[in-house]
Every structure is written in C-alpha cells, then in structure tokens.
Structure 1
C-alpha cells in the first residue's frame, strides 16, 4: 500500500497542544494527531471518521465522546490518535445516511448495513500500521473497545488495551447493545 505524508504542523486545541501529520492513501487522507514524548510504549487511539458524531454531535453513536476522551488523555500523557477516513464503518457518508434512514425504520446498525449490501464492518487498519511504522512504533497501548482492531493489527504488538466506556443516551443504547452483542465490542 503506497502512501505519502505531509510535513508536521502544530495543532493547539482545547485538549492540549498536539502535532499533526497527514497521510495520503489513494484518494483518502488520514491524520496522525500526536503529542510527544510517546514514552516507551505509546498510548494510541485508532479512530474512524464519523462526520455525524465527531463534527455534528450526533447522539446516535458514541464516536465523538470516544474521540474527545482519547484526545484528552493523550493531551495529558502523550501518544497518538490516528484518524482514519473510513466514514460509516467505511461505507461512506451517502450510504451511512441511507443506513440511518433504515435504522429510523427499526433496523439495527448491522441489519441496515446488510440491507444496503455491506458487511457488518468494512473498515481495514493497514493504514494505521503504516502510520505507526512511519513513527517507528511497533508496540502500543490501544484505546479501544473493538476486538477487530486488536485482531487485525498484525505488525503491531498490543501490550495493553485501554477501554473507552462512555455513558449511553436514549438515542444510542440500542446501537451500543448491537455493537456489544453482534460485533463483540467490549462494552
């Protein structure tokens, strides 16, 4: 998989002062948001894009809460958030909105994806390995509830998993239950 990368730039934010670097993979552009020093084994969050949650504050998921938690912890301790452009479990924004419409009709998040002809989760994590490799990182403490991330990262040793358990609300309780029961998320 070929990728190119940008220069490193400073990113002061409400979560701390970070550095950022963009990575191109075909027509997708991913981001490493990091704070050094990393320490011997850096804390890492691999976060897939969620425009509706991350930017618009959707209550249908817990994505924004997880991202903000990770940025807060990493802003204090050092580490990295890898922001992968894999909207809607990598089905794209258009299809994600169609999946939302199916969820409004009573389908759960998995059933909605299946109705649209997609797998439960179309995401891949090779780009996360490339980004970590760029920084010379081969061992991490991973902030995740998703077993697929743990099982898919082949070139990276996950020394420790840090759970990210966020409070639910009446709009995302069914979504979180589905992720736990049908996708094995450790919630």
Structure 2
C-alpha cells in the first residue's frame, strides 16, 4: 500500500509538471495557442531578431518589424524587444523615428501604444522624448499616472520620474529634420 501511494504521488507530480511546462510554452494540448514565432526585422537584406539593436549612422534606414514600418533618421538606435504578434515592442535608445502600424514603443519607463503613424524623438542625454501622433491614436503609459491619449497631437515629456508633459504644435516642414520627414511622408503616401 505504501508503494501505491508513492507511485500515485509521483504520477500526479509528473502530470502537473508536464502541464505547467506545456502551458508555459503555449502548447495546444494545455490550452495554449501553439508555437508562435517571434517576428524578425529587415533592413535591406539584413535580418534582425528579437533583442538585437538596430542602428542607422550616416543615412536613414527603413525597418519592417511585426507588420509595422519604422523609419530611422541618422544616428538613431532602437532595440527589437518583443516580436510576438500580440505583443510587438521596440525600445528607442536614441534618435528620431517615424512608425506606421500597431506596435508598442518603450523609452525608459514610458510605454506608448500606437495604432497609426507616430513620430518619436528621443534625446537620451536630456531624458526627454517628443511624441507626435500624425495619423491614428497613440496612448502614452507612464508609471503611476493616468494614460495620455494623443490623436493628431504632439507632446514633449521627460522619461524619468516627476514626469512632465508639454503639448506643442508639430510642424514637420519647420523641423530640424524636415528632409527626413519629407522623405518618410513621400514613402508613406
């Protein structure tokens, strides 16, 4: 009888462990969606995967990631954080980007969910970003604060605690990067 209890306990532990491991990896037999491949990004013929940092140095670049198009101005650095279809995310380390699509953009503690076309400028040495919703909606999520929704509006904000917001008029033609925006908008249309 003692061995029977040991065998039953062992079987229960093995089954429980198997279900937990299967659920962690999303196997269909545990009620998950099955294997999901992380998206990769392409710049020209070069392929970038989740976790990699993509940089543009002397020329602007276009990156396709998770059905989103990302235009990077010169001296821009981004990291591909997550490529799952329901949780696509990039991190802007520094620089200027224009993104068209449905994706989450993080900058330090600030996360912005975009659906449409949005411009980001991150001055890493100033601890601030500029977010301009050009077409569609952008929702800025700041820790311990109510989300800020932008719809064809622009905001300049700090990326560290004691966050401050300042709305401004975004005019691409008078920007210091007017050539970059002109190139991007000609490709979007």
Higher strand share: 2
TM-score for both structures, normalised by structure 1: 0.29
Greater Cα radius of gyration, structure 1 or 2: 2
TM, length-normalised to structure 2? 0.29
